[in-house]
């Protein structure tokens, strides 16, 4: 058997294994499992450390997948080729077959969304294998760290795009956790970022948070203006209903509209609504 045929056969076997792992991940999802299969931990690693390693592993897999889909040139060629192979022709037949059962059990996602989850799970399997078991020496290189650390806003953009289910920003501790996972990734590969990287990263986060804060304030001001107008309109309608059938002059009507703006209660309502719209960064 030629080497080319042997390599092709090996790639086919790997693809089948990834498909099987992805399907297993979907089966485990009904029981609240993560969308990737964690590697077996070394027996000597304490349970608490293993939990930390697993969390860093999940964060790093997610980050590397983000790079593949947004900055693929930052991945080393070997890993990029492996992920490309897994991404080429995912077999969705099992997802389609299981979808009616998923809906019967209360699933809310569309079939396309389930397929996308399945596709991402396949890619995560490849990345997880390349990283190796958490807390051990990685199997292969994954990122061009020199190119990556040359632009801190790559990581800043990634982290600040991570939101809650309702689209709001996470607490500061969530972003700090992803930063810790990045440092853990550096240590696993024995890579020392440039001395200015950490300071630039901190400044980048502060700049991005200030940008979000300014955008937030613009939205709050617009919302408060609309709320004030709505309260004023409601007050005018109430006053009109009270004065129905009563003759008033144009001057009286004008003064009444002006008084309604003051007595609409907007200052009280807005004062109590604003705390719920405060920016948390």
Mean pLDDT per block of 10 residues along the chain (281 residues) reads 51 56 48 40 56 92 96 96 94 94 93 95 96 92 95 87 72 80 94 87 68 60 68 62 58 59 56 55 51
Q: What is the pLDDT of residue 93?
A: 94
Q: How far is CA 73 from CA 28, 77, 78, 173, 181, in A?
A: 33, 8, 12, 30, 21
Specify the pLDDT at position 197: 87
DSSP type of residue 222: H
| CA dihedral (59, 63, 66, 68) positive or negative | negative
Count of C-beta atoms within a 10 Å radius of residue 157:
15
CA 16, CA 141: separation in Å to the nearest integer? 23
pLDDT at 40: 45
pLDDT of res. 61: 96
Contact assessment for residue 148 and residue 64, using Cβ atoms and an 8 Å cutoff: no
Q: What is the pTM for the complete model shown?
A: 0.63
């Amino acid at each position: 058997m030629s080497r080319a045929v042997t390599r092709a056969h090996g790639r086919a076997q790997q693809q089948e294994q990834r498909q099987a792992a992805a399907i297993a991940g979907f089966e485990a999802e009904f029981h609240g499992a993560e969308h990737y299969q964690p590697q077996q931990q070394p027996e000597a690693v304490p349970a608490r450390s293993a939990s930390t390693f697993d969390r860093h592993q999940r964060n790093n897999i997610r980050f590397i997948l983000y790079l593949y889909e947004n900055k693929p040139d930052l991945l080393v060629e070997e890993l990029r080729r492996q992920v490309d192979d897994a991404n080429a022709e995912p077999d969705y037949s099992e997802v389609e077959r299981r979808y009616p059962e998923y809906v019967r059990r209360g699933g809310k996602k569309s079939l396309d969304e389930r397929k996308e989850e399945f596709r991402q799970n396949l890619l995560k399997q490849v990345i997880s294998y390349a990283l190796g078991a958490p807390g051990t020496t990685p199997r292969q290189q994954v990122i061009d760290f020199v190119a990556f650390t040359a632009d801190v806003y790559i990581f800043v953009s990634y982290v600040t795009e991570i939101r809650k289910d309702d689209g709001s920003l996470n607490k500061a501790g969530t972003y700090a956790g992803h930063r810790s996972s990045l440092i853990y990734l550096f240590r696993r590969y024995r890579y020392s970022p440039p001395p200015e990287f950490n300071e630039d990263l901190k400044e980048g986060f502060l700049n991005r948070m200030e940008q979000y804060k300014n955008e937030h304030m613009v939205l709050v001001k617009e919302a408060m203006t609309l709320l004030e107008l709505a309260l004023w309109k409601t007050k005018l309608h109430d006053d009109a209903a009270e004065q129905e059938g009563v003759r008033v002059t144009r001057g009286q009507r004008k003064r009444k509209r002006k008084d309604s703006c003051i007595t609409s209660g907007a200052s009280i309502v807005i004062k109590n609504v604003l705390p719920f719209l405060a920016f948390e960064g």
